[in-house]
Amino acid sequence: MSRIRISPVQFIPISFLLLILCGTLLLMLPFATASGKPADVSTALFTATTSVCVTGLVVVDTFSYWSTFGQAVILVLIQVGGLGVVTFGAMIMLIGKRKFSFGDRKLLGNALNVEKNRGLLSFLIRIFKGTFLVEGIGAVLSMFVFIPRLGIGKGIWASIFHSVSAFCNAGMDVVGSDSLISLRESNLLMIVTMALIVMGGLGFVVWFELYDGIKDGIKKRFSFPEIVRRLPVHSKVVLCVTAVLIIGGAVAVFAAEYHNPATIGGMSLPDKVINSLFQSVTFRTAGFASVPQEGLTEVSCVLGYFLMFIGGSPIGTAGGIKTVTAFLVCMNARSYITGHREIVIFNRSVSPEQMHKASAVAVVSLGVVAVMTILLMVFTGNALTDSLYEVTSALATVGLSRGLTPGLNLAGRIIVVISMYLGRIGPLSMALFFAKSPGNENRIKHAEGEFYVG
């Protein structure tokens, strides 16, 4: 009997699917809910999917519907889903001192979206050390807010849950039914949450390149501009694009919502600034809300579509098509308009294969957004603004909703579940799926056809 061989492209989506199924079964246990009654299949499946896919859309309140056991299951699903099933499995293998085969290293490299196998295990160890360090600091700082509000026991638990959820860009909490709206005047919590979201969304490669660059620069007494100049091109692009999106988004939200009484209109100027910044950051795949999303103006919603679709950066916990992908697509258009054949970024050229990957991920993601939005409108009867917001949020694993999620019918829940799943595995799997392989290369050179474009 022949053995069934699963390629890394197939294994990664399957691993997430199996984790979702395990989470669903655990959440259907009677003691997983606060009432002691088993959760129905659709509620358990939806919650497991939103946890594993670190999305944050919920059909029931996390803090009141689920027991401590249920919340613990959700927290584990968020952590494993955020860092990746294969990544966690590899770490367990490493702790158990199991030898890594070439296939294991290739699978791990695909899971992390890293092409180089050299130094892969040390990179894995740095990821886990960095993750737990940042989450630990975030939890300790959050305790200064949650312990006075909830007491020692619940405060510590809420702080740990919040820190992991924020770093993994999940956007779920065990504080209340209104996300962070009741805590939006706590500047400490707002700043800590934004820091965790941004750290998780930057990507681990940027972490380590930035850390190594600063450490080396201090040792060699380089000036700050020199340290920045010596950073690898990937980190430069990520940091620049991230800064532009966050600052630009904050300015746009501030202008669009300044007089809106449903959001920041009644706040003081400092609170308007920090909540506009928070909304810009959370748009990027975090899912926490400091203002009611259904109260946002149409301008902010359109901005949200744009920021959610782009998402965070590669090799991190965020979703979306990723900052580098969006930037390469824009640079491709710019190069055509300006007549440059070679795309050069910070004195480094971009290969045609990378441009093809970026275009494929962007186009396929746009197509999925369109299809899922239409299906949600057809099966739920909701308006375009709310449906597109829900689907974009699900596909980009953001977790923000204009009040649509709790009222979804069964068909709507299934559509959003599929969207969350595709969003979590999408950019990575699509990049791998469209990667060039010897079996897919054209063996015949065809004559050029005449096409009229534009």
Q: What is the pLDDT of residues 148-193, one digit of tens each?
A: 999 999 999 999 999 999 999 898 989 888 888 989 889 999 999 9
Average pLDDT estimate for 30-47:
94
Helices 8-27 and 102-112: angle between axes, nearest 10 degrees: 70
Is the pLDDT confidence value at 87 over 80? no
More confident residue, 408 or 113: 408
Lowest mean pLDDT across 112-116, 266-270, 430-434:
430-434
Q: H or E stretch including 244?
A: helix 233-257
Residue 259: what pLDDT?
95
Please say whether the dihedral angle defined by the alpha carbons of residues 275, 142, 195 and 82, taken in this order, is positive or negative. Answer: negative
Average pLDDT estimate for 420-441:
61
- Six token digits for residue 4: 């069934």
- Six token digits for residue 33: 């809910």
Confidence of residue 340 (pLDDT cuts 50, 70, 90): confident
Q: How far from 409 is each of 1, 275, 378, 419, CA to CA, in Å?
A: 44, 32, 12, 15
Q: Which residues, 6 or more positions from 52, have their beta carbon under 8 angstroms from its beta carbon?
A: 16, 19, 20, 23, 77, 78, 80, 81, 424
Nearest CA to 315 out of 162, 442, 207 is that of: 207
Domain boundaries, the chain: 8-433
Residue 32: what pLDDT?
95
Mean pLDDT of the chain: 86
Given a contact cutoff of 8 angstroms between Cβ atoms, the answer to whether 70 and 48 are in contact is no
Q: What is the pTM of this model?
A: 0.88
Residue 2: what pLDDT?
44
Q: Is 424 helix (H, G, I), strand (E, B) or coil?
A: helix
Q: Which residues, 6 or more positions from 183, have their beta carbon under 8 angstroms from its beta carbon?
A: 145, 175, 189, 190, 290
